[in-house]
Every structure is written in C-alpha cells, then in structure tokens.
C-alpha cells in the first residue's frame, strides 16, 4: 500500500491509530498526555487477567491534552466500569494516577500506578 502526499502513515502515531482531523490541519502530539510503556504494560496485564476471569470484555484508550484515560467495559455498549487516569497536573499534590468508578467516585488516587491499581486487583483475591 502506498502512501500519497495527503495520507498519514499510522505507524507514526502512538497506538497506531490515525487521528481525526480536518484536511490540511497540522498534527500536534506534543500537547497530549500518554501512558509510557511500563504503565501500559501494567494496565494491560491487569486487563488480561480480568478478561480471563470473565469480568471485563472491552477497553478504550484516550490521550487528551490534560490526561490519559484507560477505560474498561463489561460490554462495549455500556458506560465504563472503571477509568484509570493519568493527570500530570496532580502529580505533585494527590498523585498523577487515579481509578474512577462508573458512578464517578474516585476509588483511589496516588503517585504509584501499582498501588492505585490494587483497588481493582483485590477483587481477584481468593478467600480460603
């Protein structure tokens, strides 16, 4: 497949997707907050375990100007069960990471992603 002068090579973008933009508008990814490889690996590890357990079935990733959001769904047509957010503006105060429930309540917020994700991970614990 050849790429014409007006086309965009999807491999240039994080996540491999092509952004929605008007023709001729410049693409600026410098203003977006993203998850780094370590953060995304940790989130996808949790996602994979929850899919295997039958709890989750779909996800969405949004890279916005002020935050990055990983949303998980039980079904694609529903509202997200959880949103895992990274907001660098809160890093010095409450911590950049937070887990938000479907009702909008912040379940946990902190400076370390692993600790914040434990609020979801504990649901897989087996009680003997």
Q: Where are the domains of the chain?
A: 37-122
Q: Would you say the pTM of this structure is higher than 0.85?
A: no
β 82-86/68-73 pair status: antiparallel
Select the highest-mean-pLDDT range: 20-29, 33-42, 72-81: 33-42
Helix axes 37-52, 113-121, angle to 10 degrees: 10
pLDDT band for position 86 (50/70/90)? very high
What is the model's pLDDT at position 42?
94
């Amino acid at each position: 497949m050849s790429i014409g002068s007006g086309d965009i090579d999807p491999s240039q973008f994080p996540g491999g997707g092509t952004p929605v933009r008007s023709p001729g508008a410049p693409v600026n990814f410098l203003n977006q907050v993203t998850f780094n490889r370590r953060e995304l690996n940790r989130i996808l590890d949790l996602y994979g375990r929850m899919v295997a357990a039958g709890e989750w079935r779909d996800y969405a990733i949004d890279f916005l100007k002020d935050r990055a959001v990983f949303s998980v769904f039980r079904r694609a047509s529903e509202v997200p069960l959880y949103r895992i957010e990274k907001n660098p503006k809160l890093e010095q105060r409450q911590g950049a990471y937070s887990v938000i429930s479907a009702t909008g309540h912040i379940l946990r917020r902190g400076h370390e992603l692993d600790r914040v994700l434990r609020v979801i991970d504990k649901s897989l614990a087996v009680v003997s």
